[in-house]
Amino acid sequence: MSELESLNLQSVSFTGLTPGAHLIVLGAVHGNETCGTQAIRRVIGEIESGQLNIVAGRVSFVPVTNPLAYARHQRMGDRNLNRNLVPTESPAEFEDRIANWLCPLLEQHDALLDLHSFHTAGEPFVMLGPEDNRGTLEPFARAAEETALALSLGVHRFVDGWLDTYAAGVARRLAAGASSREANVHYGVGTTEYMRAQGGIALTLECGQHDDPAAPEVAWRAIHNALAHLRLTVAPAPAAGADTEALRLYQVIDRAHADDAFARDWASFDRVRAGERIGTRHDGTPVGADSDGYIVFPNPNALPGQEWFYLARRSTRV
């Protein structure tokens, strides 16, 4: 039996006896991010044992969204599942086959909680979608509902501006003559962007560093809070988080050469000052911040032509 023949795609659903919201919870969209998988399996066990009851609506769990990456203990199988997520009639990569199964499943729900982790140290945070708008990039009309769900999850930091910033990076790559698929704005579409395009609300919760023993607990608490907030369980609705911090991504910097190097080990949400050196290009050109703010998603392992790090500023969104 080949590696692919040994894999399968699994979802587990529970439906209450009265109408309600339809929530879907994903784990291991990236195969080395397992806190969501652990939390989902724990919650499924609680429901099956009667410790937790789904009294209304429907909740679906996908413990391992990318089984190939998960089996290999790495971020991706053939490619990043959380990019260019769309059904296709001609699947070429393993993630295309997942998309053909996952996208119709997402469409059956009206809220998504996608559980992730990150490779550097740092506190958990939620990725929000755009504010309400009628633009062409990511039109949206449910920002208030999405933000209310985000505030219930039990973390205090919130980040938005993903697709706008990604699109600006794409425009810069195209102007520079890039031909890679990262130079296509649709490559920035992942689970949450696809869900919003179908009319739903969607959040990515980054639960902490990959190996942080607290990350599965963050994910577990968030699932319980989301179920209570959406009234799928009888638990009291969680209070909105206090002492919140909102940041907005505004710039993405790509790695241009394999010898581009960071000036030091950066973690997401480290503060940077205007003019501060963040890294150095292979030819000695400094790469710095253009204003006071924060570095987000620093990736010392980025390949040339891929996102190296993002910059963010304070926002009044939350």
Give the model confidence (pLDDT) of 138-172 as tens digits.
999 999 999 999 999 999 999 999 999 999 888 88
Q: What is the mean pLDDT of the chain?
A: 94
pLDDT (tens digit per residue) in 247-268: 999 999 999 999 999 999 999 9
What lies within 8 Å, CB to CB, of 292 at 6+ separation is: 271, 272, 273, 274, 313
Angle at 28 between CA 27 and CA 29, to 5 degrees: 100
pLDDT of residue 160: 98
Q: By percentage, how much of the chain surpasses pLDDT 70?
A: 98
Task: State how far the Cα of 315 lies from the Cα of 246, in Å rounded to an integer.
Answer: 5
pLDDT of residue 121: 80
pLDDT (tens digit per residue) in 173-192: 887 776 667 677 788 899 99
Query: How many Cβ atoms are within 10 Å of 176's Cβ, its own excluded?
Result: 11
CA distances from 150 to 100, 107, 111, 156, 287 (A): 28, 20, 11, 9, 33
The residues facing 101 across adjacent strands are none
> Would the pLDDT of 1 be above 70?
no
User: Taking the model in full, what pTM does it have?
Assistant: 0.95
> Three-state SS for 98?
helix
> Would the pLDDT of 16 be above 70?
yes
Kind and range of the H or E element at 144? Answer: helix 143-151
Burial of 5 per CB tally in 10 Å (0-12, 13-18, 19+): exposed
> Would the pLDDT of 314 be above 70?
yes
Residue 309 tokens read as: 């790090």
Residue 3 tokens read as: 């590696």
Nearest to 13 by CA among 261, 232, 253: 232
Q: By percentage, how much of the chain surpasses pLDDT 90?
A: 84
pLDDT of residue 185: 79
Burial of 135 per CB tally in 10 Å (0-12, 13-18, 19+): exposed
Most confidently modeled of 35-39, 209-213, 306-310? 35-39
Tally the residues of the chain: 318
pLDDT of residue 3: 77
pLDDT (tens digit per residue) in 95-145: 999 999 999 999 999 999 999 999 888 899 999 999 999 999 999 999 999
pLDDT of residue 312: 97
Nearest to 137 by CA among 169, 110, 115, 103: 169
pLDDT of residue 105: 98
pLDDT (tens digit per residue) in 38-96: 999 999 999 999 999 999 999 999 999 999 999 999 999 999 999 999 999 999 999 99
Task: State how far the Cα of 215 lies from the Cα of 28, in Å rounded to an integer.
Answer: 13
> Three-state SS for 10?
coil
Task: State how far the Cα of 163 lies from the Cα of 177, in Å rounded to an integer.
Answer: 21
pLDDT of residue 122: 84
